[in-house]
Amino acid sequence: MPSVTGLRALVTGASSGIGAATSDVLAAKGATVLRTARTITGPSSFACDLAIDVSALASWAGDVDLLVLNAGLGHAGPFAAMPPGRIAELFTVNVVSQLELARALLPGMISRRRGHIVLVSSIAGAMGVADEAVYSATKAALRTFADALRLEVPAMGVTVVHPGVIDTPFFDRRGTPYTRRRPRPLPPVTVAEALVSAIEHNRPEIFVPSWLRFPARLNGFLPSVVRVFQRRFG
């Protein structure tokens, strides 16, 4: 899939942040973009709570060539202090609903021998982050799902995107603002442009910014060393 021009794309979580920026970049490159979020209006948009049901969304979208699974919830704070039901809510929105939508649309891609699925994970999905234990687990699940799906459908493109700190409403919605001086948040369009480039080059995994690949890989080889740095620097 060398170009996104002419593709029919469905982007979840498209009302703001990475989803909105990705939709705009795809449209600028000539893709037909369908946008969905819990509250969204406008042409080629479908308001849908993925945590409730994805069947209506899948029927509305029809055959798509590109599925960008970007919708997600965050939560920050000690795991032991999480309110009842919050764990299930995060897994439902961040994992179950995303996979159900992929399951609904993938057969059409397979039959047409044309398709690409993008899963927006997080650096927290490549290495655990303190006070984001459940969020980290949901994003790690997306990464492992992608690894397995590539083996099942080698003719399809599957890309995992690991953003770092991005300037979106995510932090306000999770209930805890981002207060660190470094790393500084990147604009959502930076992720969107890297995401679309990854589709065009059929890359299995990208990190934004790219230097995040180093600590993620180091965590795989020397996790004890990474834990020392995490405890010291957060």
Residue-range definition of the domain harbouring residue 100: 8-233
CATH for 142? 3.40.50.720
Q: What does the pLDDT look like over 51-77, one tens digit per residue?
A: 999 999 999 999 999 999 999 998 888
The reported pLDDT for the residue numbered 130 is: 83
- Out of 135, 145, 170, 207, the active site residue is 135
Residue 140 domain-assigned (yes or no): yes
In a domain, 3, yes or no: no
CA 134 to chain centre: 15
Identify the pLDDT of residue 170.
61
**48: in domain:** yes
pLDDT band at 11 (very low <50, low <70, confident <90, very high): very high
Report if residue 1 sits inside a domain: no
Q: What is the mean pLDDT of residues 179-191?
A: 82
pLDDT one-digit tens code per residue, 80-91: 999 999 999 999
Q: What is the pLDDT of residues 118-127, one digit of tens each?
A: 999 999 999 8
pLDDT higher than 90, residue 218: no
Place of tokens 């932090």: 171
Q: Where on the phi/psi map is residue 155: left (φ > 0), alpha (ψ -120 to 50), or beta? A: alpha
**Is residue 171, in this structure, part of any structural domain at all?**
yes
Number of domains in the chain: 1
Identify the residue with better confidence: 116 or 171: 116
Look up 135 and say whether it is catalytic.
yes
